[in-house]
Amino acid sequence: MTSLASRDMKLMDDSQPGVVPLFLPYVNDAMRANVADQLQTRWLGQGPGVDAFEEEFCSAALEGHGNAVAVSSGTAALHLAYILALESRGIQQGDGEVIAPVFTCTATNLPWIYLGMEIRWADIEPETMNISLPSIERLIGPKTRAISVVHYGGHPANLAGIRALAADAGIPIIEDAAQALGGRSQGNRIGSDAEFAIFSFQAIKHITTGDGGMLVINDPELAATARRLRWFGIDRKGKQGGTWENDVTEVGYKYQMTDVSAAMGRGGLVDLEKILGHRTTLLDRYSQNTKTETRTRILNVQPSSGDSHAAWLATIVVNQGDPASLQLALRNAGIEANPVHYRNDRYSIFDGRASGDCPEMELMDGRYLCLPVHMGVTVGDVDRACEVICGDW
């Protein structure tokens, strides 16, 4: 398959009438007001606002479960999660392999390189582009130390199957739920029953803090360690409580969230259900409007009972015809579409680490595009995009 034209394509100019960009940040009045208020206080860095955001996040997004640790990005959350996943099993950094999805944002896999772990690439399931259970089954072995699972685009991965495999092998799963805020797996909010899960509040995610992330850990002691590691290895609350002289015994990072970011996040959380509802409506409409179109399919298989899609991405797969022509036809109609992620084993930074055995990814390569589903997209925009998809291209 030849490269998609998008690899050289400029972002569309959304100041032009009728142009629907692929991504757009969502900012509401509560976020604006919270930030303005926060700027009147003494807490611009990490303070009580971060604690409040963690609590409100657990109740709004995780039905009161989990121990949430707010950090500076989803990638920082993954780095800390991977450190703690290894430590919790007594594994030294650099010792052994991890199984990770070949298809994801590179941020899922980069922190494994920080820790010197060897990545074994797991293939995709063609129906969802999530990590494939049979592929994990083939890769798992005595050197496997952990499994990274991504809920691609917000579609819940096959957690029941993966958890059974991981439990047999005695290894941790780290759920990268950067794209799956508010989704459900087996009736539970994604992340609420995870050993380790992370979320991202990067500008274009369901809710944003400009940049930011949340690490969710079920073990409160490990969560306390994460709170120290995010701030130089120091218990910041203890320090705020008056303990100024203390030893530092762990190598920590500068990964904390600030109260200004938390103020944005708290405002965004107010609209979480509205955001999920809007995105899901648009994703379902893409599927409905194109269900008789045999050249393409939208990745929106009905999740199994108890699962629900968080609809961060609407992905279209082109089975027949040239995806670059579809992309151009959409663009000519003012709709921006793009593959967003590429298989990670192609990137030079991962060279020499890839096993390269991903036949389903091979078949999918160059055949998929993501369509806009953000809060600035209307049902009419989706209908317009679907007319293009069902027309000549």
Binding ligand PLP (rule: CB under 6 A), the pick from 34, 130, 202, 261 is 202
- The least distance separating ligand PLP from the CB of residue 247, rounded to whole angstroms, comes to 31
Q: Is 356 left (phi over 0), alpha (psi -120 to 50) or beta?
A: left
CB 288 within 8 A of CB 297: no
Question: Hey, which bits of 88-142 come out as E strands?
Answer: 97-101, 118-122
Kindly state the tokens that stand for 143. 């050197």
**Residue closer to ligand PLP (CB basis): 77 or 234:** 77
Binding ligand PLP (rule: CB under 6 A), the pick from 200, 209, 256, 338 is 200
# of chain residues touching ligand PLP (CB under 6 A): 14
Instruction: Give the type of residue at 339.
Output: P
By the rule CB under 6 A, 208 interacts with ligand PLP: no
The stretch near ligand PLP (CB under 6 A) out of 51-59, 141-149, 173-181, 370-378 is 173-181
How far is the C-alpha of 273 from the C-alpha of 384, rounded, in Å?
Answer: 26
How far is the C-alpha of 166 from the C-alpha of 40, rounded, in Å?
Answer: 48
By the rule CB under 6 A, 98 interacts with ligand PLP: no
CB 183 within 8 A of CB 154: yes
CB 371 within 8 A of CB 326: no
How far from chain centre, in Å, is Cα 31?
Answer: 22
By the rule CB under 6 A, 108 interacts with ligand PLP: yes
- The least distance separating ligand PLP from the CB of residue 368, rounded to whole angstroms, comes to 15
Binding ligand PLP (rule: CB under 6 A), the pick from 60, 91, 100, 107 is 107
CB 315 within 8 A of CB 290: no
| Dihedral (Cα; 235, 240, 244, 246), 10-degree rounding | -10
**Residue closer to ligand PLP (CB basis): 23 or 286:** 23
Please name which of 152, 121, 180 lies closest in space to residue 361, comparing C-alpha atoms. Answer: 121
How far is the C-alpha of 209 from the C-alpha of 198, rounded, in Å?
Answer: 15
By the rule CB under 6 A, 73 interacts with ligand PLP: yes
**Residue closer to ligand PLP (CB basis): 73 or 280:** 73
**Residue closer to ligand PLP (CB basis): 149 or 328:** 149
- The least distance separating ligand PLP from the CB of residue 243, rounded to whole angstroms, comes to 31
By the rule CB under 6 A, 289 interacts with ligand PLP: no
**Residue closer to ligand PLP (CB basis): 74 or 334:** 74
41-77: b (≥16 Cβ within 10 Å) or e: eebeebbebbebbbebbbebbbeebbbbbbbbbbbbb
Binding ligand PLP (rule: CB under 6 A), the pick from 153, 154, 183, 213 is 213
**Residue closer to ligand PLP (CB basis): 198 or 316:** 198
Interaction site with ligand PLP (CB under 6 A) = 73-75, 104-105, 107-108, 150, 176, 178-179, 200, 202, 213
